[in-house]
Structure 1
Amino acid sequence: MTDTAAPRPESPAPLREIIAWAFYDFANSGYTTVVLTTIYSAYFVGVVAAGLEAEHPGTATLLWTLAIGAANLVVLVSGPVIGAISDVRASKKRFLLVSSVLCISTTALLAGAEPGQVAPALLLLCLSAIAFALGENLIAAFLPEIARSDNMGRISGYGWSLGYFGGLLTLGCCLGYIQYSEASGLGADHYVPVCLLITALIFALTATPTFVWLRERAQPRTLPPGQGYVAAGLGQVASTLQHASRLPDLFRFLICIVLFQAGVSTVVVLAAIYAQEVMNFDSQQLIVLIMLVNLTAALGAFMFGFAQDRFGSVPSLAGALLVWILAIAVALQASTDADVWIAGNLIGLAMGATQAGGRGLVGQLTPPAQNGEIFGLWGLANRAAAILGPISYGVINRLGGGDHQLSLISTLTFFVLGLGLLLTVNERRGHQDAMRYH
């Protein structure tokens, strides 16, 4: 294959293009906050699968985590291949459009899954989660094309920070409709489907700048005679994995991501369920809590981008993981609403920092010719984490008869292990290895 991928830019991309790239984080964050974190996760356990939960406590939570795990397993297998194919064909933007349309449409269709229709709800949830995760991989692969190594942390932080405001916008619209519905005597079986439609609409509208202004800088590569794109993509991934010894810090950090992101993924998809089942939060309390978490997460992502470029990614990420550990410890002993609010704000600061920092560090450790492929592997690490963390929580919860605090201990363990491995990553050496890689 001829190596003609886009080189790292010597000067930053135009501001309009950086904003267009960051706006995708703004657009798809509504899906995360409404479907995975706040409204629909609690609605699924409390309404859609309420009958199963009443008969066998912990079953609805387990089904939720298994569905998320299945979706991430699909992405784990397909993500690196799609990333490699997008490198060969220089078609990241086209794949991103397809994944976005699929996520938006299945989110809208999810509104039609009524209480008791567990199987259709789980199927649509899986499809939307697959599309969302593939989009996350693809938009991240543009980062090394629009940023230099000395400002990559800041630009990644801008994206995450703007993304949290996108989640706030969607949650704010949903909260307004929920208040209107409850004042009119309408229940969750009415307003939750409408919230899903609101989420799909906002995603579609706010993703538009990305597809209008973001450029595809990579150039198509020449394939050997008789070789198709899938074979080329698989071969490229296999080659990179075979040469992992040449990029030891990158692959060590990818394993580190699996560990700490297992904890992050668990919090994302189970926070609302925990607050509802353990602390008896209602829908409006949950939304206000997550809105506040999004504000602190935006602040954390924005501040961390500067800290990462000033002090280095590894020390900054280590600090963020320590905040995660403190937040989970506070949640474990929570006995009042105030404890939950404190834990939530700590989680927000730490979440913004770890998500922005992880993507930025991978960008610095990535060889220029393998942007799509390596970010496919980054997605693989995140997807493995999204299987490992939530399913561990769900299984422990089911075996413990619905004991959410017991399940949360496994989440704390992932953060501790991730911190330990992170301290073995040499950021400067890893960047130098990436620049020498051929």
Structure 2
Amino acid sequence: MDLTSEPTRTSSTPEQRRLQRKWYWYDWANSAFVTATMTVLFGPYVTSLANKAACPTQPSDEKCLTNLSVLGFGIPPGSLVPYTLTVSTIISAIVLLFVGAIADRSPRPTKLLGAFTVVGGLAATAMFFLEGDNWELAVLLVVIANLCMGASLVVYSGLMIRITPPDDRDRVSTTGWALGYLGGGIMLAASLALLSFHEAMGLSLSMTVRIIFAAAGIWWIVFAIVPVIGLKDVPSAGNAAGRQPVFSGSLKQLKRTFQELRTYPQTMRFLLAYLFFNDGIQTVIAAAAIYGALELDFSENQLFITILLVQFIAFFGAMLFGRMARSRGSKQLILLSLVLWTGVVTGAYFIPKGGFMPWLVLSVGIGIVMGGSQSLSRSLFSHLIPRGKESEFFSLYQAMERGTSWFGTFVFGLVYQLFHSYRLSIIALIIFFVVGGLLLRTVDVRRGISDVGNKVPQVI
């Protein structure tokens, strides 16, 4: 039985829908690490470790102005996390290109999915051992976990194209994102309960956070079993054509891909637009906890309530954008979401210290647009990829995906280093949404789809 999508089909077969239901579970699996660890706890917690290392005698509620020595450079503790994410993404941008080429040629790409999940999940689980002033271990573990997350999503996104016809990709992509938000919300709810009652359970705040780190890593590994096993018979495109060996052939194919990419100007233009607006989105997500905790003085519980609200609103937001895409088209809805993102960042700048209610109102806006902008970007890009090079092209895309943006986090950290103000850091991100939106407006999506030889969906 052919498990992959046929170029002439416009809707999924029953077998493809069965595979899609298994595919959704990976969004659910990685959501705990993305939300509980990276979005909420990692930034404030590791910043506190860095503060202890740089200012060991200073009270924890005071801002540390002494620099850490990192590879001979002086870095403020408040800039450590953004700079770490920057380094993580630069490494990912190089490594993921080879991952994509290998994945398209691997006979069973789900083996790669499983391997990256295990290594990344174990690194996430090992964050349980972060305590005292051990910020160096935190940097190492997050680089490993983020790299494996990006690599697994290269394989995962490529699998979506193999099991989903063009007209169904908006539906499948938004459903996957929505279930990811739901899974992350459940994990956050359990984490919030643990944080709320940790004293009654005899746990310190530090131990509680470390337990949540470990639980998120275990969640990632356990739930990934469903797609890793359920999609094991979905072949890659590369070996099906009887091409060269996996590793040596991948290097040659990667070189050809960069040469070939120049012949697809609309695909290149979309990637450039995505580089900008996704950097803005990912930096807002990654920096939200730091901004809320260190600029607005919100507690860990308040931050969990915020992200929990965002997660559940994002579930409905992703489903809403998926339905709207059936008649409006994904490009126009992404542009609309960028206008709303600009409003969100502007609103965040003016929230007063301790203003939790306006912060929650703003969080509802984030939840509505977050799922739609990310899921529709994934499905739109899937149409601009030549058939047989799904993972390879998604490796370019994935280098700028979820929490691995580099220029945005660099700007956020640099502005803080120069002005010691997270408000200026957050407002500086507007430029990414503006530039990304202007570039996206110039993309001729229908022409781009035709250029790569794919079927143009009825609505795009």
Is 2:291–2:422's contact at 8 Å kept on the other side of the alignment? Answer: yes
Scaled by the length of structure 1, the TM-score of the pair is 0.93
Alignment of 1:72-83 (within 5 A): 72-83=89-100
Between stretches 307-316 and 379-388, larger displacement belongs to 379-388
Match status 1:414 vs 2:424: no
> Partner residue of 1:128?
145
1:258 corresponding residue in structure 2: 275
| Alpha-carbon separation, structure 2, partners of 1:106 and 1:290 | 23
Query: How far 1:97 moved relative to its partner?
Result: 0.6
Measure the CA separation in 1 of the matches of 2:262 and 2:22: 36
Of Structure 1 and Structure 2, which has the larger fraction of its residues in helix?
A: 1
The TM-score with structure 2 as length reference comes to 0.88
Name 2:303's counterpart in structure 1: 286
Partner of 1:154: 171
- 1:357-376 matches, cutoff 5 A: 357-376=376-395
Aligned to 2:359: 340
Measure how far apart 1:238 and its partner are.
2.2
Offset from partner CA, 1:353-390 (integer Å, 9 cap, x none): 11101100011111111111111111134389711111
Counterparts of 1:44-55 in structure 2, within 5 Å, are 44-47=46-49, 49-52=51-54, 54-55=64-65
- Residues 69-121 of structure 1, C-alpha deviations (whole Å, 9 max, x = no match): 12211211111211111112233211111110011101111111212011111
Task: Give yes or no for the alignment of 1:172 onto 2:184.
Answer: no
For residues 404 and 373 of structure 2, what CA distance do their matches in structure 1 show?
14
**2:235 corresponds to which letter in structure 1?**
R
8 Å contact 1:313–1:427 — kept in the other structure?
Answer: no
Q: Name the amino acid aligned to 1:306.
A: R
Identity of aligned residues (%): 24
Counterparts of 1:240-251 in structure 2, within 5 Å, are 240-251=257-268
In the alignment, the residues of structure 1 paired with residue 142 and residue 409 of structure 2 have an alpha-carbon distance, to the nearest angstrom, of 15
Partner of 1:395: 414
- Structure 1 counterpart of 2:66, from 56, 61, 65: 56
The alignment partner of 1:425 has SS state of coil
Moved more, 230-239 or 146-155: 230-239
Q: Is the 8 A contact 2:282 2:403 kept in 1?
A: no
Superposed displacement of residue 410, structure 1: 2.0
For 2:409, the aligned partner's letter is P
SS at match of 1:189: helix
Contact 1:86–1:95 (8 Å) recurs in 2: yes
Aligned partner of 1:207 in structure 2 is 224
Residue matched to 1:352: 371
Whether 2:382 is the aligned partner of 1:380: answer no
How many residues are matched? Answer: 429
- In 2, the alpha carbon distance for the partners of 1:384 and 1:54 equals 25
Matched, 1:304 2:321: yes
Contact 1:265/1:386, CA 8 A, preserved across alignment: yes
Question: What is the CA-CA distance between 1:242 and the residue it aligns to?
Answer: 1.4
1:393/1:410 contact within 8 Å kept: yes
1:34 is aligned to 36
Per the alignment, residue 199 of structure 2 pairs with 182
Relative to 1, partners in 2 of residues 1:8 and 1:56: Cα closer, same or farther, differing over 3 Å? farther
Do the aligned residues in 1 keep the contact of 2:174 with 2:318 (CA within 8 Å)? Answer: yes
Paired residues of 2:85 and 2:404 also in contact (CA < 8 A)? no
Q: How far apart, in 2, do the equivalents of 1:324 and 1:271 lie?
A: 13
Helix, strand or coil: the match of 1:408?
A: helix
332-341 or 26-35, which deviates more: 332-341
**Which runs of 5 or more residues in structure 2 are unaligned?**
55-62, 68-74, 456-460
Deviation per CA, 1:158-208: give whole Å up to 9, x if none: 000000011112111211211221334533211011111211222222222
* Distance in 2 of aligned mates of 1:25 and 1:113: 26
Query: Offset at 1:397?
Result: 0.6
Equivalents in 1 of 2:368, 2:91: separation in Å? 30
Instruction: Please say which of residues 105-114 and 228-237 is displaced more in the overlay.
Output: 228-237
1:432 has 2:450 as partner? yes
Q: Does 1:323 align with 2:340?
A: yes
Tell me how far 1:306 sits from its aligned partner. Answer: 2.1
Say whether the 8 Å CA contact 1:73–1:383 is kept in structure 2: no
Q: Give the Å deviation of 1:229.
A: 3.3
Q: 1:382 aligns to what SS in structure 2?
A: coil
Give the C-alpha shift of residue 211 in structure 1.
1.6
357-366 vs 15-24, which moves further: 15-24
Using the TM superposition, give the Cα deviation of residue 258 of structure 1 relative to its aligned residue in structure 2, in angstroms: 0.4
Change (3 A) 1:101 1:325: same
The answer to whether 1:86 aligns with 2:103 is: yes
Alpha-carbon RMSD: 2.1
Give the counterpart letter for 2:168 in structure 1.
Answer: N
Distance, in Å, in 2 between the alignment partners of 1:9 and 1:125 is 42
Residue 105 of structure 1 corresponds to which residue in structure 2?
Answer: 122
